[in-house]
Amino acid sequence: MTEWTPLDPALAKVLPTGEPVNVSRRGFLGAASASALVLGFGLPVGAARAQAAGAAPAVVPGTRVPAFLAINPDGTIRLQSPFAEGGQGVWTAMAQIVGEELDADPATFVVENAPTGPDYQVINGKMRITGGSMSVRSSYDTMRRLGASARAMLIQAAAQRLSVPASALSTQPGRVVHQASGRSLSYAELAPHALDLPAPTTPPTLKDPKDFRWIGKPQARLDVRAKSTGKAQFAIDSKVDGMLHAAVQHAPRLGLAVGKIRNEAAVKAMKGVHSVHVLDGAVAVVAPRFWHARRAVEAAQVDWVEPTGASYRPMPATFSTADHAAHLATVQGTEEVAETAGDVAKAFADAGAKGTLSATYHSQYLNHAQLEPPSALARFNADGTLDMWFPNQAPDMFLAEVAKVSGLPPEKIRIHSPLLGGFFGRHFLYPKGNPYPQAIELAKRVNAPVKLIWTREEEFLRDPLRPMAAVRFRGAVDANGMPLAIEAVSATEGPREGIADKRSGEIDPTALEGLAGKSYALPNKRIAQIFVKSPTTVAYWRSVGNSMNDFFYEAFLDELADKGGQDPYAVRLHLLSGNARLTTLLKAVVDLSGGWKRGPFTAPDGTTRARGMAMASPFGTQTAAIAEVSIADGQVKVHDVWQAIDPGSIVNPAIITAQVNSAVALGLSQALIEEAAYKNGERVARNFDGYPILTPDRMPRVHVRIVESGEKMGGIGEPGLPAVPPAVANAVSRLRGQRVRTLPIGTLS
């Protein structure tokens, strides 16, 4: 016997209701949709008994089919995704994975972002975030089993309908088939019958990967047409009845408070203004139209005052990024060692001054610069509940914070998580870095729903930044000119500790990943951090520590190769000897580029060019990249980037190729032009005019080769980035005969 387990109430609330809800297992029908017939499951008997006995039912994330799947009468399949779609293609990947085992064409899926709740904590069965390039690799098995469970259920229903044993049935996409009689039933026909059946008591058998129909194929993305016709809805597009708009002016330095608004009466009297509000570190204007709110809040003349008590990372009035870079390069402090091998001191002694090299490298602060500015819409309802719409990569984590800020219990709060207009790490919980607390406060004060948009200028002021670092390297070469030792000491603060705003008691892995964790068999190494708290707020940024640390390491490795009179390709092959996977990968990118050709050489168009290479091991995936560059009028032109990527095994090669293109663009953007600079404690630039990002004319051709080693599945969204900046820097260094040690490369003299 199976007993119906109520769906997570949050799901029922978030879905449109069109019919009365019965207190029965079919009650789910009404909650799911006015017209949907829903494939239903019960919990395994043990769990149901525990529930009947009064114990809280333990939800095993990713197992309760009705929380994820609904089969509509038209045959479309609605899937609640535990992961947010922000361009990385995860909704299509989820449809491929579930569809594969369900035996349903992924093109028939309609994917939505799931509400909060325990069912969707599918990352290793205990967490829900969209980040760390974790989505597919952490939920692959779970989502396959989910699809297989649903398929088994449909087969059971068909067995009853056709009065044949389940073992006599098979499936074709969207249908259960009885081969012997030629009869078949569609999933849509079977869904209501499946609802009344017990759940399978044994785990369903998963397909042999050699029989995959969709996994591993370049399935078209599900969201492309909507995104090509303006129909895709982002958080900033959210609208509810009676909604007012809000805009804010933040303190120019974090931590400053509003003293007074000198022209408050004049601002209140401006056309279209509903009300003016003093918030924590900001002034807000609420208006029926956003344009009026924005114009008024920007007209506000505010006296900002220094904080009196403790505040989160107050920005000093003296801070400049130029001074901070100099400080990071020279600061003395405890060197916390993350990784060692061999005997570094002896290696340097053996190499002597002649075989030893020192250099200091720098990275810069970066904005996420996702094109959709952050927004938050808050609506307090008459029944005491709160609905919120805002971009986020972790709905349940935000739910907990919204509960604190609003004073409501979590069960009275619904978090809506629309499509993300880019994220790159922007939409995690960041103290002082998300607009939702302001929207909640304003909605309370004006007693109406409020949608707050941070203008680009306010966003660039409060966007927490990719940390900057200075790395002091020493390297030694042996008698053959091959690398013997590398010591790297990075003065920085990792984003994990920076966001928490406290030391964790151990080295923050996000500070050093890419300096530590390199795959080369270097006999002697010492990788350490000098912790230096960033005066800015900091954040995860696509590929996190790897976004800068692989630049440092791979560029210095080329420097060391030059020191030893060795070719960088030969050096890398040497350091990978015995590592078949990475040797194969490096050779693959060399092959893809038509053979290793470091240059400088003269291209057919008469320009002088050079190539650089680099490797990285980020997020469980292995990458190798080669870039070809020339220089004209002080500007680096990147003509081609070749990248070989080995994520172990794959779900969608077309999306991987697109993600590598995307990562190349972001990697180039930071390598060539981006820098979030401060002077006198204030941002130098607060929009794209002063903080340019990569433009179409600077996009290189990108050539991708996917290598499936069959190793454990790695990530896709971020791994394509880290090898790009060092490949470019190494090419530029070769071309100029002068090392690039600081990003961005900018204009060369």
Partner 1 sequence: MIELTVNGQKRQIDADGDTPLLWVLRDDLGMTGTKYGCGIAQCGACSVMIDGTVTRSCVTPVESVASAQITTIEAVEADPVGARVVEAWVKHQVPQCGYCQSGQVMAATSLLKQKAKPSDADVEAAMTNLCRCGTYNAIKAAVRDVAGLAATQEHGA
Nearer to partner 1, 440 or 665 (CB): 665
CA distance 441 to 402: 11
Cα distance between residue 358 and residue 546, in whole Å:
22
Contact 628, 611 (CB under 8 A): yes
Among 423, 520, 553, 556, binds partner 1 (CB under 8 A): 423
Q: Please report which residue ranges of 103-230 form alpha helices under DSSP H.
A: 135-162, 187-194, 224-228
> Least distance in Å: CB of 707 to partner 1?
12
Nearer to partner 1, 294 or 741 (CB): 294
How many chain residues touch partner 1 (CB under 8 A)? 66
3-state secondary structure 424-474: CCCCCCCCCCCCHHHHHHHHHHHCCCEEEECCHHHHHHHCCEECCCEEEEE
Q: Is 118 in the site for partner 1 (CB under 8 A)?
A: no
Among 203, 260, 291, 345, binds partner 1 (CB under 8 A): 291
626 interacts with partner 1 by CB under 8 A: no
Q: Which of 61, 131, 355, 422 binds partner 1 (CB under 8 A)?
A: 422
Q: Is 217 in the site for partner 1 (CB under 8 A)?
A: no
Applying CB under 8 A, which of residues 47, 527, 704, 727 lies at the interface with partner 1?
A: 704
Considering beta carbons, is residue 124 or 687 the nearer one to partner 1?
Answer: 687
Q: Residue 453 CB: number of other CB atoms within 10 A? A: 24
The footprint of partner 1 on residues 628-657 (CB under 8 A) is 642, 654, 657
Q: Are strands 386-389 and 375-380 parallel, antiparallel or unpaired?
A: antiparallel
Q: Residue 645 half-sphere exposure, CB side, CA atoms within 13 Å?
A: 37
CA distance 198 to 59: 18
For partner 1, the binding residue among 318, 695, 738, 747 (CB under 8 A) is 695
Tell me how far apart the alpha carbons of residues 261 and 264 are, in angstroms, rounded to a whole number: 5
The span of 59-67, 81-89, 159-167, 355-363 binding partner 1 (CB under 8 A) equals: 81-89
CB-wise, 369 or 610, nearer to partner 1?
369
In a 3-state reduction of DSSP, which class is residue 538? Answer: strand
Q: Name which of 336 and 457 has its Cβ closer to partner 1.
A: 457
Q: Which stretch binds partner 1 (CB under 8 A): 410-418, 516-524, 627-635, 686-694?
A: 686-694
Joined together, the tokens standing for residue 615 give 């490797």
Contact (Cβ atoms closer than 8 angstroms) between residue 666 and residue 722:
no
- Residues 654-673 within binding reach of partner 1 (CB under 8 A): 654, 657-658, 661-666
x/- contact string, 448-487, with partner 1 (CB under 8 A)? -----x-xxx------------------------------
Each residue 511-550 as x (binds partner 1 by CB under 8 A) or -, in order, gives ----------------------------------------
Instruction: For residue 587, give Cα distances in angstroms to 465, 574, 584, 617.
Output: 35, 13, 5, 16
**Region near partner 1 per CB under 8 A, out of 49-57, 95-103, 217-225, 434-442:** 217-225
Which tokens sit at 189?
A: 């026909």
How big is the CA angle at 190 (ends 172 and 217), to the nearest 5 degrees? 30
Q: From the CB of 592, what's the least distance to partner 1, in Å?
A: 6
Q: Which of residues 225-264 bind partner 1 (CB under 8 A)?
A: 225-234, 236-237, 239, 245
Radius of gyration in angstroms for the set of CA atoms belonging to the chain, rounded to a whole number: 28
* Cβ(186)–Cβ(75) below 8 Å: yes
Closest CB to partner 1 among 622 and 657?
A: 657
Q: Are 87 and 93 in contact (CB under 8 A)?
A: no
From the list 46-54, 83-91, 317-325, 463-471, the region that binds partner 1 by CB under 8 A is: 83-91
Tell me how far, at minimum, the Cβ of 287 lies from partner 1, in Å: 10
Assess 605 for contact with partner 1 (CB under 8 A).
no
Helices 187-194 and 135-162: angle between axes, nearest 10 degrees: 80
Footprint of partner 1 on this chain (CB under 8 A)? Answer: 86-89, 220-221, 223-234, 236-237, 239, 245, 271, 289-291, 369-373, 419-424, 453, 455-457, 592, 642, 654, 657-658, 661-666, 687-689, 693-697, 699, 701-705
